[in-house]
Structure 1
Amino acid sequence: MWMKPGAGTTLSTKFVPPTKRNALVQRPELMARFLSARDLRLQLVCAPAGYGKTSVLAQAFARLAEDGHKVCWVSLDEGDQDLSRFILYLVDAIRQTGVRFGQGLSTLLGSGVSVPGDTLKTLLLNELAGLDQEVHIFLDDYHLVLGPDIREVIAALMLSPMRTLHFLIASRTPNELPVSRLRALGQIHEVEIADLMFTESEVSEFVGTVRGTPLSKTQVTRLRDETEGWAASLQMAGIALRGIGDVDTFLNGFTGAHKSIGDFLSDEVLRRQSPELQEFLIATSILRKFNSGLCDAVMETHGSRAMIDEVERLNLFLFSLDTEHHWYRYHHLFSDFLRRRLNERFPHLVVGYHRRASRWLADHRFVTDAIDHSFQANDLDRAGELLDSSCSDLFAAGQTTTLVSMSSRLPESLRERLPRLQLELAWSSELSWKFADATIAIDRVQAVLDEWPADSPAKSSQERAFVETKLSHRRMMLALLSDDMQQAEKLSVGWLQAARTTDPFMCASAGSAVMASRREQFSCEGVMTSARMLHDRFIEGGAFYGVVFHQCIVGATFLARGDIQHAQEAYERALQMAVELHGEHSALYNMPALMFAELYYERNQINQAEELLAQRDITSQLGFVDNLIAGFVTRGRLLRLRGRVADAETLLAEGSWLAEQYGFARMRVILLHERIQLLLAAGRGKEAHALFRDSPLTATAGQTPPADGATTTDAVLALMSARLGIEAGEERGSMALLRSWYAFARGRHCHRMAIHAGILLAKATARWGDRRVAQRVMAECLALGEAGGFVRSFVDEGAECRELLIELDRSSPLQGSAKTHRYLESLLVAMGHTVPAGAAEENPVPCRAMNQETLSQREIQILELGARGLQNPDIASALFLSESTVKWYWQRIFDKLDTRRRPDAIKRARQMQWIV
């Protein structure tokens, strides 16, 4: 959620095709097929190990590049299981082609924000949809991709309508690629075992190059028959034939089809090398990739560079992973064999090799590889220590899959003693609303702290202070996200008063927690100043993701005060940041969108509310309970408005169930109130009373008068009780209850709740028979509602509210300006009452007066650039935005200016003198 930047490293070796210093043989026929199929969506090279898939793909890469095509390469390995890391590789690889692409996504993935998988998939698709040049994407060793989310993304890209994307993939298996569908579409070129087998002419060239001298035609035929054109076997045979005069005798004993690769390597390849080179090969086989420094560390020597050069000179299954010939890896078959030899003959050396590798890799910031080598050495304490020290960076880089996977390899007893790791696991659980898991992790950290002696030299005071500060922050955020607002206020205020850190992200999130928790306890003072200050702190800490959450809290607080104008501005800021970070179709965008829809509904802008909610997942488990409440309540009321009462009942019941699962008491109470209002409006009073009576939430409803510490949940329970009391003819008791809450909410300047309580109080008073007092209370509610442009709070209260408003309209002059009378009459129009022609506007309360403040500064900039003739890609480049973000801004401009074409929007902006 509100993550600040974390460190992350992308190896340049991922983006360079593995090569050999001496190219062995060209495959012109295969290359011709690759080139002729270059316009297809997928070219798949699928075969078992040792058939030269990587070499063939590397040749295709070079040929396409030579012909001027945009090509990029990603080498995959066992560690590439995090979707965020995979997408970062893909984005960085494409950007290296020079194509203008993915600036926003690359920034997001490198910013330390943990982004949900569905959001990442949507963002990537949106970014790729904006590509204006064809790109050929090479993925090597795709069979190593185990994560289903990565395979799902690749499949989606393969089947998308984007014509600019072309994939060339090498894999041992199809690995859930949509092969059948691409065949049906005619969008796949498949290269299989039979295609990769060497012809006799290629065998002759290949073995002649490796051996140094050619074979006769007969010998070539025999070797081709024995190996069936298998590249790995041919290379081993060529190495073994070096210096052998009697080739026929060797071939008589070589039966590649029957001898295992391991035996052959042992008998004919490895034994022909010097003892020093054999030792080097065996020792370094434990390394997934290596350079001379790492090899020196593993072998405790200084001669590895010369050894690597010798291995490369001899063509001993070595691939270079960069153009500088700094990083290398062995052929997978060769490294498998060497590791078997190491474990069989030198098992006592294995642990030492892995430990030394782990130390070097950790020192050079290759932490995940270092942790893996510690596991290989069975040094679990070391693995845990490394994971504990690096978990924050892993989480911030979005590598939660790696983090969880590695932590699961540790014994639970050890995992529980790693406080930093537990703090990140707690954070991950909080963000995904796994509150029980978060609580367990937090308790484990506290247990570790309780066991630390205060004067322990092993645990510095700085380390203890760091853990305690972060633990307090996690507790605070757990209370906030689980909607325990009274506890959230207590913890956040205490955290800020302790002043243990100046970290801008943690300080800003604590300040936002104070604002949110106090709002639900009828304290909304100082929101304007604190909102601006906290916004700046999030920006200072680079926590742009947190800005979205913060502005949602700000908007909800302004709405509680009855200030819809400033609420809208806060939501707009949240939406703009969300679209720049994740796009318009993301879970992050959903959060402020649901709350904005609630605002639209309140202003009776029904079409806008429905449009904003269309195809939105209102159950998205991201953010606070506020967006869930807004989504369910607004969609339920829209369904009711359209006459779909049964659907509204079902929706609210589903929301109540969801709230119960997560323990969201406030949401349960609000949705119970909605269900009761729905039943009463349908004339089903008995069902409404039964629902209220049978709910465990209503045991003390209305029994406690408002006082310091009262919550909005208490207020809704009181309103619910009073509403049913009015329905049952118990107006007197309901009036007393409502009068106390109405005065309390007004006194705290929480005008939205005051309006709700006041309208009910006016209805109860009217039923009691005192219509003069009822009109006075309704007039007070009008004054509160006019300032914010409230409409549906009056309209949804039905006929009794309408009659009181009609009486006010017909009575002696109402206190207030002519504008107040227009507001009253516009409410009556919204309620279906006929007023004199021209007395009210067609739209009851316009969203805003048309002035320059309607548009944000960014929207003005886009209009100015558009007026100068710049197209979306150029505007995106000028403003450092993604093209999809620019498109979103145009749509917002069209909506605000009530146009649907760019020229019309520019013309309107010029008429208003916003641009020249």
Structure 2
Amino acid sequence: MSPPPSASLVCAPDSDRALTHAGKFDLPGSNASWVRRDAITERVDRAAAAKLVLVRAPAGFGKTTALRQIHEQLQARGVATAWITLDAADNDVSRFLSCLAEAIARLQIGEESQTGRDVDALALLERDGAPFALFLDEFEVLKSSAVLALLREIVSRLPRSGQLVIGSRNLPDLDLGRLRVRGQLMEIDAQVLRFSVEETREFLQARRLPALPHDVLETLHARTEGWVAALLLASMALERHDEPSDFVQRLTGGGGAIAEYLAEDVLGRQPADVREFLLRTSILRQLSPSLCQALQPRVDCARMLARLHASSLFLLPIETDATEPHYRFHSLFATFLRAQLVREHSDEVLRLHLAASAWYESVDRLVPAIDHAIEGGDFPYALTLLSRTAQGFLKEGRMRLLARWFAAIPRGTLHAHPLMQAIAIWAVLFTQGPTEAQVLLADSGLALSEDAVISAHVNAQRPLLLAMQDRYSEANELGREGLARLPTAVPFADTALTNCMAHVTAVLGQTHEAQRLLDSARSSRCGSVFNRMYTESTEGMLDFERGLFRQAMARFRIAVGCTRDSSYRYTGGNAWAGVLYASAMYEADDLPLVERLLNVYAPLACDVGLPDHMIECHAIRSRLLFGRGDVDGASRVLTELETLGHLRKLPRVVASARLERACMLMRQGNAFGARAELDRSDDPAVWDRVARQRLPAHELLDIGIGRLRWEVQFGDAGAAALRIAAELPAALAASRIRRAHKLRVLWAVALWRKNSPQAAADAMGEVLLQGSREGFARLILDEGAAVAGPIHAVLRNLRKNPGPQDPILLEYVQRLHTALGGDALASESDQAATTGTPWQGESMTGKEMRVLNLLAEGYSNGAMAEKLFVAESTVRTHLRSINMKLAAQNRTQAVSIARRHGLIR
């Protein structure tokens, strides 16, 4: 995998966290004018089996109110509940996961959910026990593909007792179609949320307005179309109109026009001091007396906020641990106020943002201080603030935060700050990838700088850029020149370069040099958790290659935990180490954990464009989907990988996608298709370089192993065994122990096919002995039914051994044997290499043959039902009939018998 890690995802610092998360877990403040939406809560009651309740409508339709009433209804039924009000910052996976962990702890669905316990919070949601519901309001702010993928995983794994309740303006990307088909989705849309005429009457009564004549009430309802926000604004206006019927008659236009008209009408009728206060504080996302005082020094802001809150017209309270109250505007009204502020006082917008920025700076909250400086357009001031914190954020790995800020600052302004340019290049490198960073470095002119600090950054960045572009030989040459200049004035850059060169030299086969560089990086005093992650990840990759699987897994776990707060779970780490950890856990066969890790980290790794990461992520995701019977999904993932390779001009990625597709076709028993795909993947320029280098994605996935696998399974097993025997010593001599294990597995299968069962058992036994000690599994299990015979033979020998038993080895072999189908599959694999007599039993119907072929290709019952346009129960009926006719005990055995008798390929 490419040497540099992608963005480290780190939560807000402790000093900011209380206010950052203020009110996120609390229900919105109650409002006396709420109308009971019994029809909505009854719908939810009737949809107890739904995994997801989606309340979706444009702004101002009362989604939050509906969510709160659903919340109260569930609590009354004894359902445990937790609430999160989302905001844009939750697109940071680390922050979102920390918020999710806090919400899950509040659910109290397990003893492990207590604060401070090192527990996978997501796993707690999967437990089937007491009923619970997790509420996510303002879901539309989530744009991150990683966060959305994580939520799709959460929904798919919720137990029957769990429910996710979402409020959103938009249609969320959560596989709603699949949930809808399965009856696991309850949708409450704008049409349901609209007030009826009677609810409109109740609403106005709750607002203590005089009763309207029925015809006027109906007109008001028709003009507002039951839109709650419009009715709220109308009620404000009606309080000040002596002739309600005239006002209602003047309401025209669609929802948006009505909202603007009413907002202007209501705002225009406020006292001048209230009106000006509202406009000038509209730039704030949260309002507190002291912050507002910085913007409005001549106003008694504490009194004004209390006055507005008491009126229940504009402000929503936020619960915080702060000593003074905090509020926020309704988002619809805030949007209008900001637009109005620009129209009326455009010359004050900059001053207001700068005042807010200065206040945040005074209380040492530099993140919102920088945000306001940028929003106010004072980029030099923003860079001044950044200069105080950017290097610290760089060392912490907060690359996405830095990248967001630098993207908002004009390049011309940035040119006056060379150090900020250098840090911007780091941020872009680890969030957008080397191509964009290369352009930024070239445009900056920093390579010509004589400043020692700037030169130190460039000295490390140039080899990194080349290595991330899969140009390891060039990176090695330039990196060695850079190492000769160490130490420089920037310890962070020196350590990053040392780590980079450790990986580059490892890829080039210079293992001792790589180890020396890692030792040097580890002894660095730069104090960067980012570089510590980098060091542990790279050494873990070396351990993985050398067969020290448990040691590698420990290093990867340390790497993903390299954050400033040890209370964060492993999923709060960084994408580069996260993908490596996912790969290790896949090898350990912890598939549920692997899916969660990839849902978080795979999109981030692909954003950066690291070739080995992209290959590893997509290959594993494809195998997981295939294992679940989603063959079409598995194929789609590989097509995505191939397309990414073409788009980014990475031939190695394209060839790897095709090679993995060939492996999938082999698992389906499609010899012809697999051979054709192997030929398509055989790009000499790619595989010649892979043979010379030691790239992590290709320890077990290269054209040589691909062709050996095909020969072992479909071709001349004897010739394949001889080739493996000749190749194995070279792998062992180079300490590529993991690759040697894979070769031995294929060797055992080849020997089994050529009717040498004892030799096959001996070859497999050596791999299994190491596997029981180190804990790897998938490099064996991924070969599927082909390894069942040798494993069965090893297990039989162990059971017959009269001497002392190794209980760990016995349990390990039994576990693999069971995972592959046990004795029934093993007995079939004894005859898998030969074709028996034509089928003499009861003939298959046409539908049964279609089911049998789909079964052989790896499809699940549900996927077969979709392809055949029948119910899943019909598929099960066909499968029972097939098993009876073939005298098979399970699906795998049915496929094996059918192939042996020539019923399927």
TM-score by length of 2: 0.60
Counterpart for residue 779 of structure 2: none
CA contact (8 A) 1:48 1:172 kept: yes
Q: CA deviation at 1:307?
A: 1.0
Q: CA deviation at 1:328?
A: 1.8
Counterpart for residue 762 of structure 2: 842
Task: Please give the alpha-carbon distance, in whole angstroms, between the structure 2 residues aligned to 1:379 and 1:328.
Answer: 26
Aligned pair 1:49/2:59, yes or no? yes
Counterpart for residue 892 of structure 2: none
Map 1:625-636 → 2, pairs under 5 A: none
Map 1:362-511 → 2, pairs under 5 A: 362-364=361-363, 369-383=368-382, 404=403, 406-415=405-414, 419=418, 422-423=421-422, 426-427=425-426, 434-443=433-442, 447-448=445-446, 450=448, 465=453, 467-481=454-468, 482-484=470-472, 487-488=475-476, 491=479, 495=483, 498-500=486-488
Counterpart for residue 258 of structure 1: 252
Aligned pair 1:588/2:576, yes or no? no
Aligned pair 1:286/2:283, yes or no? yes
Residue in structure 2 matching 1:900, options 806, 815, 823: 815
Counterpart for residue 606 of structure 1: none
Letter in 2 for 1:253: F
Counterpart for residue 314 of structure 2: 317
Letter in 1 for 2:534: G
Q: CA deviation at 1:15?
A: 2.0
Map 1:804-883 → 2, pairs under 5 A: 842-843=762-763, 846-847=766-767
Task: Please give the alpha-carbon distance, in whole angstroms, between the structure 1 residues aligned to 2:709 and 2:262.
Answer: 85
Counterpart for residue 550 of structure 1: 538
Aligned pair 1:59/2:58, yes or no? no
Counterpart for residue 847 of structure 2: none
Aligned pair 1:13/2:22, yes or no? yes
What runs of 5+ residues in structure 1 fail to find an aligned partner? 110-122, 455-463, 598-609, 684-755, 761-777, 799-825, 857-891, 905-916
Counterpart for residue 654 of structure 1: 681
Q: CA deviation at 1:783?
A: 11
Letter in 2 for 1:321: I
Q: Secondary structure at the match of 1:300?
A: coil
Letter in 2 for 1:549: S
Task: Please give the alpha-carbon distance, in whole angstroms, between the structure 2 residues aligned to 1:640 and 1:218.
Answer: 73
CA contact (8 A) 1:423 1:441 kept: no
Letter in 2 for 1:900: R
Task: Please give the alpha-carbon distance, in whole angstroms, between the structure 2 residues aligned to 1:24 and 1:797.
Answer: 72
CA contact (8 A) 1:555 1:570 kept: yes
CA contact (8 A) 1:894 1:900 kept: no
TM-score by length of 1: 0.59
Counterpart for residue 277 of structure 1: 274
Counterpart for residue 27 of structure 1: 36
Task: Please give the alpha-carbon distance, in whole angstroms, between the structure 1 residues aligned to 2:263 and 2:736.
Answer: 85
Task: Please give the alpha-carbon distance, in whole angstroms, between the structure 2 residues aligned to 1:848 and 1:303.
Answer: 76
Between stretches 132-141 and 79-88, larger displacement belongs to: 79-88
Q: Secondary structure at the match of 1:15?
A: coil
Q: Secondary structure at the match of 1:189?
A: strand
Task: Please give the alpha-carbon distance, in whole angstroms, between the structure 1 residues aligned to 2:23 and 2:247.
Answer: 41
Q: 1:27 to 1:4 in 2, by over 3 A?
A: closer
Aligned pair 1:40/2:39, yes or no? no
CA contact (8 A) 1:391 1:424 kept: yes
Map 1:518-667 → 2, pairs under 5 A: 518=505, 524-525=511-512, 542=529, 545-546=533-534, 549-555=537-543, 567=548, 570-571=551-552, 573=554, 581=570, 587-589=579-581, 647=674, 650-651=677-678, 654=681, 656=683, 659=686, 666=693
Letter in 2 for 1:341: Q
CA contact (8 A) 2:342 2:349 kept: yes
Task: Please give the alpha-carbon distance, in whole angstroms, between the structure 1 residues aligned to 2:263 and 2:389.
Answer: 40
Task: Please give the alpha-carbon distance, in whole angstroms, between the structure 2 residues aligned to 1:156 and 1:645.
Answer: 35
Q: CA deviation at 1:67?
A: 4.1
Counterpart for residue 141 of structure 1: 138
Q: Deviations over 1:234-261 (max 9, x none)?
A: 433443455x6xx762333333642733
Q: 1:847 to 1:60 in 2, by over 3 A?
A: same
Between stretches 46-55 and 76-85, larger displacement belongs to: 76-85
Task: Please give the alpha-carbon distance, in whole angstroms, between the structure 1 residues aligned to 2:510 and 2:180.
Answer: 63
CA contact (8 A) 2:58 2:169 kept: yes
Map 1:57-136 → 2, pairs under 5 A: 57-78=67-88, 80-100=90-110, 128-129=125-126, 134-136=131-133
What runs of 5+ residues in structure 2 fail to find an aligned partner? 562-569, 590-618, 625-633, 712-722, 777-806, 820-905
Q: 1:32 to 1:493 in 2, by over 3 A?
A: same
Letter in 1 for 2:812: L
Task: Please give the alpha-carbon distance, in whole angstroms, between the structure 2 residues aligned to 1:222 and 1:637.
Answer: 66
Task: Please give the alpha-carbon distance, in whole angstroms, between the structure 2 residues aligned to 1:787 and 1:373.
Answer: 53
Aligned Cα root-mean-square deviation (Å): 6.2
Q: CA deviation at 1:327?
A: 2.6
CA contact (8 A) 1:83 1:149 kept: yes
CA contact (8 A) 2:56 2:190 kept: yes
Letter in 1 for 2:262: F
CA contact (8 A) 1:101 1:127 kept: no
Q: Deviations over 1:562-596 (max 9, x none)?
A: xx56x556545457668994699973246568999
Q: CA deviation at 1:207?
A: 3.4
Q: CA deviation at 1:541?
A: 5.7
Q: CA deviation at 1:144?
A: 3.7
CA contact (8 A) 1:493 1:514 kept: no
Q: Secondary structure at the match of 1:346?
A: helix
Counterpart for residue 459 of structure 1: none
Q: Secondary structure at the match of 2:763?
A: coil
CA contact (8 A) 1:50 1:232 kept: yes
Map 1:289-308 → 2, pairs under 5 A: 289-301=286-298, 303-308=300-305
Letter in 2 for 1:587: V
User: Identity of counterpart residues, as a percentage?
Assistant: 19
Counterpart for residue 185 of structure 1: 182
CA contact (8 A) 2:131 2:162 kept: yes
Counterpart for residue 795 of structure 2: none
Q: Deviations over 1:283-305 (max 9, x none)?
A: 11222332222211222346212
Task: Please give the alpha-carbon distance, in whole angstroms, between the structure 1 residues aligned to 2:30 and 2:158.
Answer: 40
Q: Deviations over 1:790-823 (max 9, x none)?
A: 979999999xxxxxxxxxxxxxxxxxxxxxxxxx
CA contact (8 A) 1:355 1:377 kept: yes
Q: CA deviation at 1:845?
A: 7.4
Q: Deviations over 1:209-239 (max 9, x none)?
A: 434x654776984685465544334433443
Q: CA deviation at 1:313?
A: 0.6
Q: Secondary structure at the match of 2:107?
A: coil
Which is greater in Rg? 1
Task: Please give the alpha-carbon distance, in whole angstroms, between the structure 1 residues aligned to 2:443 and 2:117.
Answer: 34
Q: CA deviation at 1:853?
A: 6.4
Q: 1:306 to 1:664 in 2, by over 3 A?
A: farther
Q: Deviations over 1:134-184 (max 9, x none)?
A: 432222223344445555554554455643442222233434555554444
Q: CA deviation at 1:551?
A: 2.8
Q: Secondary structure at the match of 1:289?
A: coil
Q: Secondary structure at the match of 1:163?
A: coil
Q: Secondary structure at the match of 2:302?
A: helix
